Amino acid sequence: MVIAGAFLVDLRLGVVTTVAIALHEIPQEVGDFGVLIHAGFNRLRAFVLNYIVALAVILGGVVGYFISFGAQNIIAYLVPFAAGGFIYIASSDLIPELRKETNIKKSFLSFGIFLFGVLFMLVAKLIGE
């Protein structure tokens, strides 16, 4: 629904949001696949189950798109809700994990990836203007 809300605000925002979520989801899905393999699932079953769960993105987009026609001002709630969700995830999960890292190379790599994300958002904003 977050992606649908972003597209309803602006086409460019929708594209940037989709790319950002994809860049986040791809490594997460690989990790989920590894967890399923480690839990004893065979590769095909792990892949199929992971794929089915990932289809929720499409379902959420379609549902969000159709709800937007019936709900008044849903965009005013979807986009801040999505932003709050991302801020919550970063502050509750990612930042504490980064602080635990003792390997300086991994710390700099994580920081570099963070800076890449900030740069990506800046470039997306500049392109949109």
What's the structural domain count of the chain? Answer: 1
Q: Copy the structure tokens of residue 39.
A: 């839990």
Q: Give CA–CA dist 11/8, Å, rounded.
A: 7
Question: What pLDDT is attached to residue 40?
Answer: 93
Helical packing angle, 11-38 and 2-9, nearest 10°:
170
Residue 129: predicted pLDDT: 67
CB hemisphere CA count around 70 (13 angstroms): 4
Place of tokens 């026609």: 69
**pLDDT tens-digit series, residues 72-112:** 677 777 777 777 877 777 777 777 777 777 888 888 888 88
Helix 43-54 vs helix 11-38: crossing angle, to nearest 10? 150
Span between the terminal Cα atoms of the chain, in Å: 25
Instruction: Give the domain range for residue 27.
Output: 2-128
Predicted TM-score (pTM) of this structure: 0.56
